């Protein structure tokens, strides 16, 4: 952890560093060999104020696919301090960051993360899951939706899928890349995915080199059990 500043509301903000490196196991000769980021976090117990264990894993998935990210139109939902969105933007994607419209402090976090990483012109919008708002209606075409640890309250699961399904209806080839922290064996999304004509592939962490400690130089995700999922619209869906 490094640096420290007071934000307007006398919050204590600290910056944590993350470093994504060229992967020895893939040995690819891609453009960027190393990406160093600083993500400001607010020392408060609110959900969207710091990096959750799911985020470095989703960011690693993005980093693993970094060559394909260039020029992609990406929307991050429930972004919080937006580590995955920042990595996507650094890899050349056109990123829009979003969090709940009623949580301006989270939108401020998105802006702060962009500023820390010299990202200018990244739109930050209020997008509340399940709400068909003007901001949702006026989204440009999207290729990838990112969501790190957005499935953490079962009461919100359907609202998230409503938003995702709405975007997919307009952009049928959209992929929703999401990391999920297993908190209870009783939680399941299967019925909701079926209801919203969505299909889900689980991507083993090993496939994108996220099955190790010290991911991006961070002690996250630690002992938490994280799953990486890619959710798409079922082919021929007409809901
Ligand atoms: C567990 S945190 C994850 C934050 C960040 N994605 C990460 O992994 O570090 C959940 C995020 O969802 C946001 N959120 C909660 N309810 C929401 C809603 N109804 N609509 C949109 N975002 C919401 C919170 O503000 C928070 O940023």
Cα of 227 from ligand 1 centre, angstroms:
17
Q: Is 52 in the pocket of ligand 1 (CB under 6 A)?
A: yes
Q: Is 106 in the pocket of ligand 1 (CB under 6 A)?
A: yes
CA distances 151 to 11, 60, 73, 138, Å, are 27, 19, 22, 25
Domains of the chain: 46-233 (3.40.50.150)
Q: Which atom of ligand 1 is nearest to the CA of 49?
A: 27
Position 99 pLDDT exceeds 70: yes
Summary count for the chain: helices (H), strands (E): 7, 10
Q: Is the peptide bond before 189 cis (omega within 30 degrees of 0)?
A: no
Position 119 pLDDT exceeds 60: yes
Cα of 35 from ligand 1 centre, angstroms:
24
Position 32 pLDDT exceeds 80: no
Judged by phi (left if over 0) then psi (alpha if -120 to 50, else beta), residue 169 lies in alpha
**Nearest-CA neighbor of 41 among 71, 7, 65, 8?**
7
Cα of 42 from ligand 1 centre, angstroms:
14
Q: How far apart are CA 37 and CA 18, in angstroms?
A: 5
Backbone angles phi, psi at 170, to 5 degrees: -85, -25
pLDDT tens-digit map of 100-117: 999 999 999 999 999 999
Sign of CA dihedral 156, 153, 45, 88: negative
Q: How confident is the model at residue 47 (pLDDT cuts 50, 70, 90)?
A: low
Q: Is 79 in the pocket of ligand 1 (CB under 6 A)?
A: yes
Contact 67/31 with Cβ under 8 angstroms?
A: yes
Q: What is the pTM assigned to this prediction?
A: 0.89
pLDDT tens-digit map of 150-205: 999 999 999 999 999 999 999 999 999 999 998 887 788 899 999 999 999 999 99
Position 2 pLDDT exceeds 80: no
Q: Is 108 in the pocket of ligand 1 (CB under 6 A)?
A: no
Residue nearest to atom 25 of ligand 1 (CA): 48
Q: Which atom of ligand 1 is nearest to the CA of 159?
A: 19
Position 207 pLDDT exceeds 60: yes
Pocket perturbation via mutation, ligand 1, pick of 150, 161, 163, 167 by most ligand atoms within 8 A of CB: 150
Helix (H, G, I), strand (E, B) or coil at 205: helix
The position carrying tokens 């297993």 is: 182
């Amino acid at each position: 952890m490094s640096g420290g500043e007071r934000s307007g509301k006398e919050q204590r903000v600290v910056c944590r560093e993350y470093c994504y490196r060229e992967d020895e196991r893939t040995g690819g000769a891609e453009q960027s060999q190393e990406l160093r980021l600083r993500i400001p976090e607010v020392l408060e117990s609110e959900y969207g104020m710091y990096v959750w264990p799911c985020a470095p894993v989703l960011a690693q998935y993005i980093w693993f696919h970094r060559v394909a990210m260039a020029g992609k139109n990406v929307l991050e939902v429930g972004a919080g301090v937006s580590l995955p969105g920042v990595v996507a933007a650094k890899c050349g994607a056109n990123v829009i960051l979003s969090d709940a419209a009623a949580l301006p402090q989270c939108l401020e976090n998105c802006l702060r993360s962009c500023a820390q990483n010299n990202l200018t012109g990244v739109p930050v919008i209020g997008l509340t899951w399940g709400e068909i708002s003007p901001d949702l209606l006026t989204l440009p075409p999207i290729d990838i939706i990112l969501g790190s640890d957005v499935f953490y309250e079962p009461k919100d699961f359907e609202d998230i899928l409503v938003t995702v399904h709405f975007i997919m209806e307009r952009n049928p080839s959209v992929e929703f890349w999401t990391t999920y922290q297993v908190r209870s064996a009783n939680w399941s999304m299967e019925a909701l995915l079926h209801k919203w004509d969505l299909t889900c592939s689980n991507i083993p962490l090993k496939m994108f080199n996220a099955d190790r400690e010290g991911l991006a130089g961070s002690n996250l995700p630690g002992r938490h059990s994280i799953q990486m999922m890619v959710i798409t619209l079922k082919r021929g869906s007409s809901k």
